[in-house]
Chain A
Amino acid sequence: NAGVTQTPKFQVLKTGQSMTLQCAQDMNHEYMSWYRQDPGMGLRLIHYSVGAGITDQGEVPNGYNVSRSTTEDFPLRLLSAAPSQTSVYFCASKTGGQGPYNEQFFGPGTRLTVL
């Protein structure tokens, strides 16, 4: 199993550009989520999904869109990039339905810089 994969690993954007961060998992996990990690701050939840066609907002959703058309894929779209979105983005997945304590599996991250 590849686990959780993310592309690209690095990206530089100019203010106002849009882009999509890709995330895929091959573990048949229902739950997928996107976090951003900034220096001195914990991982913050952007959006999450509990299954194909079901998404919801996390703690910091503004400026980001998600969709979940398949169990495997959960892309994150930046609509109009801003310097405040410079961060490292992590996708994660886990099984659900057995209780809220299941471990999350994280991807390797995408380092995004917005100029």
Chain B
Amino acid sequence: SQKIEQNSEALNIQEGKTATLTCNYTNYSPAYLQWYRQDPGRGPVFLLLIRENEKEKRKERLKVTFDTTLKQSLFHITASQPADSATYLCALVVTTDSWGKLQFGAGTQVVVTP
């Protein structure tokens, strides 16, 4: 069966350190993968997209990798800050039509302490 797995345990990290989140998937062949941030009581907000032919993508302090052989994406927050505390969702684009339906993981909560 198709599955997307993200760490269900919260990641507690000290300010200034790098937070690394994993997104593993099985029985999908996504061409694209997206990462979203969700704060409590709010809707997800898009952060980054990475294509299958891109090994790495960066945006400010965020870095995403996409390994289609391992069926895994890693999401890094460098020099983390308390404001980075949120839940981070990975989403696979599971259709190749122009509308690109998404399949979401359950998310990993990140808590950055001063």
Contacts and interface: CB of A to CB of B under 8 A. Distances in A.
Given A40-B8, A40-B106, A103 B46 contact: yes
Contact of B44 (A31, A43, A58, A100): A43
Contact of B101 (A4, A40, A48, A109): A48
Contacts of B51: 101
B106 A41 contact: yes
B107 A100 contact: no
Which of A41, A43, A45 has most B Cβ within 10 Å? A43
Interface residues of A, number: 28
B98 A99 contact: yes
B102 interface: yes
B34 A109 contact: no
Interface residues of B, number: 29
Nearest to A109: B43
> Helix, strand, loop or mixed for chain B's interface?
loop
Contacts of B97: 100
A42 B32 contact: no
Contact of B95 (A40, A100, A103): A100
B49 A31 contact: no
Interface of B: 4, 8, 31-32, 34, 41-46, 49, 51, 89, 91, 93, 95-107
Interface of A: 4, 31, 35, 40-45, 48, 50, 58, 90, 92, 96-109
Given A99-B100, A106-B43, A106-B44, 11 more contacts: A35-B104, A42-B4, A42-B89, A42-B103, A43-B91, A58-B101, A98-B98, A99-B98, A100-B31, A100-B32, A108-B43
